[in-house]
Amino acid sequence: MTNNGTFTIGGDLTVNRIGYGTMQIVGPGYWGEPRDRSEAIAVLRRAVELGVNFIDTADAYGPFVAEDLIREALHPYRDDLVIATKGGVLRTGPDEWPPLGRPEYLRQALEMSLRRLGVDHVDLYQLHRIDPVVPLEDSLGELARMQKEGKIRHIGLSEVSVAEIEAARPVADVVSVQNMYNLSARGAEDVLEHTRTAGMAFIPWFPMATGELARPGGVLAAAADRHGVTPAQLALSWLLHRAPNVIPIPGTSRIAHLEENVAAATVSLSPAEVAELTALVR
């Protein structure tokens, strides 16, 4: 996993640029236990074996299930393994994610994540969503206080605009942004550019448009055939070439898909090929 290099988050967390997102290892609707718990454990362990050293999760995945699986699979953690988690949404049922950014709730969420993961601090703790009824300075201010207490190493935001990133600057040192972004969903283009110029990590979730970009016979299939790779690998490679601060976090519950995704780091694209793919999918 060296062809597309590394990125250093917050100045001191150097990670390989294909991470692993844990949304897919829990139950349907991101609710409950996985279909096959032993396979979920095996996928997490295989990811680390393949050189993945950035794992993204959240207390909401399950809820709580993904963090438990990470600890079961990987604790005690390798020194170079960076685990990012999130707090700031409730889970009221499958596919339901109402935001809750009250400071006391965020403190509870972090304390429980620390306990489930078996750590004394979180490498990267991300505000899962901005709560529209709680001032951002209250939510983010609580994360900044917990950072000063040594419970958070770095702070990130999720699903935010450039204006919201700028509003966060006086409150906390934000080192990463996680927004939905892929070849077919590029609404966060301005956020990506903003993070690139600011030296922040940009972590695109749903990097393959929930599998649509990887579909055999889909829009990427012919281009993938020309490169001798799969559509999924081409979609991930495009993200890696899009900007040096991009850290895709494809998720899967299958080892074969995991190995395919990680191998995308070896796919090389010319600037012309990147431009061709950008124009191909709109």
Per-residue pLDDT reduced to its tens digit, 245-279? 999 999 999 999 999 999 999 999 999 999 999 98
Supply the pLDDT for residue 45: 98
Q: How far is Cα 166 from Cα 120, in angstroms, rounded to an integer?
A: 30
Q: Of all helices (H) and strands (E), which one includes residue 86?
A: strand 82-87
The active-site residue out of 20, 30, 61, 125 is 61
**Confidence band of 220 (pLDDT split at 50, 70, 90):** confident
Q: How far is Cα 143 from Cα 137, in angstroms, rounded to an integer?
A: 10
Assign 148 to helix, strand or coil: helix
Which residue in the block uniquely carries the two structure tokens 């579909």?
Answer: 215
Q: How far is Cα 239 from Cα 77, in angstroms, rounded to an integer?
A: 28
The rounded mean pLDDT for the chain is 95
Known catalytic residue at 181: no
Pick the more confident residue, 211 or 180.
Answer: 180
| Percent of the chain residues topping a pLDDT of 70 | 98
Delimit the domains of the chain by residue range: 6-208+246-253
Domain 6-208+246-253 - what CATH class?
A: alpha beta
Supply the pLDDT for residue 4: 64
Q: How far is Cα 152 from Cα 125, in angstroms, rounded to an integer?
A: 6
Q: Which of 12, 2, 5, 1 is nearest to 245 (CA)?
A: 5
28-42 pLDDT, tens digit per residue, is 999 999 999 999 999
Supply the pLDDT for residue 2: 37
Q: How many CA atoms lie within 13 A of 234 on its CB side?
A: 30
Q: How far is Cα 226 from Cα 190, in angstroms, rounded to an integer?
A: 31
